[in-house]
Amino acid sequence: MSEKSGETAVRKKAGGFFARLGSKISALFSGVIHGGIAPKLSCAFMGIGQILQGQIVKGILYALTEVLFVLFMVFFGGNYLGKFLFSGHLGTIEEHNVEVNGILEPVAGDNSMLILLYGIASLIVVILFVTLWVMNVKGAVENDADLKNGKKLRTLKQDAARFINEKFYITLLVPPMIGILVFTVLPLIFMILIAFTNYDYQHLPPKHLFDWVGLQNFANLFTLSGTSSFALVFLRVLLWTFVWAFIATFSNYFAGMIFALMINKKSIKLKVLWRTMFVLAIAIPNFVTLLLMSKILDSDGILNVIFGTHIFWLSDIRYASIIPRIMIILVNMWIGIPYTILMCSGILMNIPDELYEAAKLDGANPIQIFIKITLPYMFHATGPYLITQFVGNLNNFNVIWLLTGGGPGDNVLYGAGNAKSTDLLVTWLFRLTTDNNPQYNMASVIGIIVFVISASLSLITYNRSKATKNEEEFQ
């Protein structure tokens, strides 16, 4: 499939989705307008239609849902939702002191954090309520049509039986979907919206308010002003993040492939022993290996003691911190190559021997055989793995943080952004939220940038890889 035809297919699918959605909405309104009194009353009072149609229990449940929603909005959600959506500010009254009998006593003001958090939660509740309202109206319309056609309405017991039998997948999916909504969607929306506020050390609730600033944080990230601006720090960290991800991914990949080719050669003996040794390396948790390596490579560590040197392997700031960066890459190879060896070994065993024999008969040398047969086969089988590893290395927090903590520090090149020489975007993001002068708004902006980069690279490279375009080529 060509790239142009793929885009056309996506447009057709999107157009078809909106066409179906519009058709369903039109059918629902038509059912309400041309139906009896029950569907019309259901639009104003949930459950009334079902009660009039004889589905008493279902109607009462719908009615209770509406009552609970109204109570929630009146006594809790409406206040936060109003401040979140309509006031234009995340609070107007800061915490202040009031003199009572000559004594200053603190009086609580608005809490921007709670306004934002509860405002989002209330908005989600409204969306869920609207969904239930649509189900209520749709049910009343369907019941009205069934009664006109002389059909008998389903009882509550029959509806429950449907969700245990033919629609059991919905019953199973509802609990995890609620969990995703509460523990993933809500925090994700909250953190994205933080990027559009001035939430930092000077605006920490509940003592101080923070407010909307629009795209100002994004402008600060991409505006070059002076030789040590925040934007320049971002570009330096971004460049090192890509360099690190590229070298870390392909060094592990090609080194692991070479070792796997060596182990799988027919002349090599004790293949089981070599593979077992690499499995033992994998059995040790990565964070243990990284902590051990940080101690070995310390300025007073075992390596310097053995060689009688005093080299700052992980903290040398000279030459743009080239030594710490090289050591990080080497340690990452130490913990990453065994995984690639085991993966490549399995793939190499499945390459037909006939391909190699035919190539030798045609006079191909080992390098040509590797380039024309082994490498294409490996790329085809491991394309998704490479994409996953590259994106994973873009966000490889553990290796950087446990070895160097993002250091060494260089206030000349990185001081404006409070970053360090080996920081990736993800470790810099963490530093911006945990240092003495936190900048939660800029950390949120960087988090959005990391997501956009990771998602774009994953989608583009995966859709353009042969593993998806020519799935049957090597079968």
For the chain, give every domain's residue range: 35-213, 221-469
Which pair of tokens denotes residue 325?
Answer: 């960066």
* Residue 395 main-chain phi, psi, to 5 deg: -115, 30
| pLDDT above 70 coverage of the chain, percent | 93
pLDDT digits (tens, 9 = 90+) for 278-290: 888 888 888 899 9
Beta bridge partners of 100: 103
Amino acid letter, 325: R
pLDDT digits (tens, 9 = 90+) for 356-384: 888 888 888 888 888 888 888 888 888 88
Which pair of tokens denotes residue 224?
Answer: 């070059």
The 3-state DSSP composition of the chain as helix, strand, coil percent (nearest 5) reads 75, 5, 25
- Nearest-angstrom CA–CA distance, 401 and 395: 11
* 239 has pLDDT over 90: yes
- Nearest-angstrom CA–CA distance, 263 and 278: 11
pLDDT digits (tens, 9 = 90+) for 389-400: 999 999 999 999
- Nearest-angstrom CA–CA distance, 322 and 302: 21
Helix (H) or strand (E) holding 260: helix 230-264
Read off the DSSP letter of residue 153. P
* 468 has pLDDT over 60: no
Read off the pTM: 0.83
pLDDT digits (tens, 9 = 90+) for 306-322: 988 889 999 998 888 89
Contact 96/107 with Cβ under 8 angstroms? yes
What integer pLDDT is reported at residue 290 of this predicted model? 92
What integer pLDDT is reported at residue 422 of this predicted model? 94
* 340 has pLDDT over 80: yes
pLDDT digits (tens, 9 = 90+) for 48-72: 988 988 889 889 999 999 999 999 9
* 473 has pLDDT over 60: no
Which pair of tokens denotes residue 84?
Answer: 């979140």
Hunting for tokens 């719908």 — which residue is that?
A: 62
Neighbour count for residue 250 (Cβ, 10 Å): 14
Please state, in angstroms and as integers, the Cα–Cα distance from residue 416 to each residue in 80, 197, 216, 235, 347, following that order: 36, 20, 17, 12, 48
CATH 1.20.1250.20 fits 221-469, yes or no: no
Hunting for tokens 């009086």 — which residue is that?
A: 107
Which pair of tokens denotes residue 138?
Answer: 């749709």
What integer pLDDT is reported at residue 179 of this predicted model? 92
